[in-house]
Amino acid sequence: MNSRERVRLALRHQEPDRVPLDLGGSPVTGMQASTVYRLRQALRLDPPGTPVKVIEPFQMLGEIGPDLLDALGVDVVPLGSPKTLFGFRNEGWKPWTTFDGTPVLVPAGFNTEPEPNGDLLLYPEGDRSVPPSGRMPSGGWYVDAIVRQPPIDEDTLRVEDNLEEFGPISDAELDYFAREAGRLSRETDRAILANFGGTAFGDIALVPAPWLKHPKGIRDVEEWYVSTVARRGYVYEVFERQCKIALQNLARIHQAVGDRVTAVFVTGTDFGTQSGPFISPQTYRELYLPFHTRVNGWVHRHTAWKTFIHSCGSVAALIGDFIAAGFDILNPVQCSAAQMDPAALKARFGDRITFWGGGVDTQRTLPFGTPDEVRHEVAARIGILGPGGAFVFNTIHNVQAQTPVENLLAMYETVRDAGRYPLRAPQ
């Protein structure tokens, strides 16, 4: 059984030969570049000092190369935009060193210099003639978006301003997706997780639009959240128009890539906090569910793709609505949040949705536990979430900086040893 078949069986709620494994299939299932470097060194994939490519500067995600995929037995590959969240392309690679001394390669558009206080600024499309849109604090690991909110005049606020980044997909983008889908399908036997963009309604990571040189509309994080209540009609109309554009683009994208894609990343809008849902189920049903239903419905009527929702935090109260909206996959399954006990989730929802993630806690166990504690938790999660299929192993969100490499090795060894069907009962 190859990787593509393995993932497809799991997504059909059937047990393959082993639990499928994802690392780097999406911007929320990857690994920070410094950690990638240390893992590659531990596996003796590179000579010391060999740099790792930073493929997404916003989260400082490292490239998961084919040799690392092979070494770990990863079953998923990404199909996403050739551009970073700051709008410059992943090309023109040049050497750089992170604050912790890790040698990396960054795209040519990553053309920053330290501020007097040591902070680093990033610019939309790498253009330093416009205000910066991102800041990495001195000694930091990640980039924070800089809010560039123009003063809001209620009389002149236009829905079009919050739709600037949404429009008909270009022929160049279609050609890229078609080429990459073809290449990944021919050159690997792994499942393709696609992220075409345009279908995430109100994803707060995207609201500041760090790729736009002069964003208009509502771009402040707090102001956007306030607007979902105070300007509900405005936000609904943004979603309405965005959805229409998205469906038109999906039709063209499907013509270009066909059913070589296994699953499509629909949304990364977070609906949970550590202690409970960020919004009420009623608000989800009124503001988000109609558009999720339209997107998922189109995908299921016209393609063989499965649909993927990412939402951090405690979302147990919303999972039934995610299923009603047509989502096939839930990520990251943050079991450390309130009401997110993995056994309870599997019992309530495991026959209706695939859990992609939840394999180990990235807040405590993986970064701060011992290798034995990591092994125990990974084996237990596989035993709980794996029976009957409908489970793809991944950590809870991206593997973070400074995660001990001994814990990473323990995790992947346990996935290999404990992930074969029939699964042992959790201890």
How many domains does the chain fold into?
Answer: 1
- Facing residues of 265 across strands? 308
Residue 128 forms part of a structural domain: no
* pLDDT tens digit sequence for 389-423: 999 999 999 999 999 999 999 999 999 999 999 99
How is residue 238 written in tokens?
A: 């943004």
Q: Are strands 191-194 and 263-267 parallel, antiparallel or unpaired?
A: parallel
Give residues with Cβ within 8 angstroms of 253, minimum separation 6: 169, 174, 177, 196
b or e along 164-194 (b: 16 or more beta carbons within 10 Å of the residue's beta carbon)? eebeebeeebbebbbebbeebbeebebbbbb
- pLDDT, residue 219, reads 97
- pLDDT, residue 112, reads 85
Give first-to-last CA distance, the chain, whole Å: 28
Residue 208 forms part of a structural domain: yes
For the chain, list residues with pLDDT below 70. 425-427
Residues 329 and 306: beta-carbon distance below 8 Å? yes
- pLDDT, residue 262, reads 98
b or e along 89-114 (b: 16 or more beta carbons within 10 Å of the residue's beta carbon)? ebeeeeebebeeebbbbbbebbbbee
Which domain CATH number covers 265?
3.20.20.210
If 0-12 CB within 10 Å is exposed, 13-18 middle and 19+ buried, where does residue 264 land? buried
Residue 144 forms part of a structural domain: no
Residues 207 and 303: beta-carbon distance below 8 Å? no
- pLDDT, residue 113, reads 80
CA pair distance 263, 31, nearest whole angstrom: 20
Residue 122 forms part of a structural domain: no
Residue 317 forms part of a structural domain: yes
Residue 103 forms part of a structural domain: no
Residue 110 forms part of a structural domain: no
Q: What is the domain range of residue 326? A: 3-92+149-418
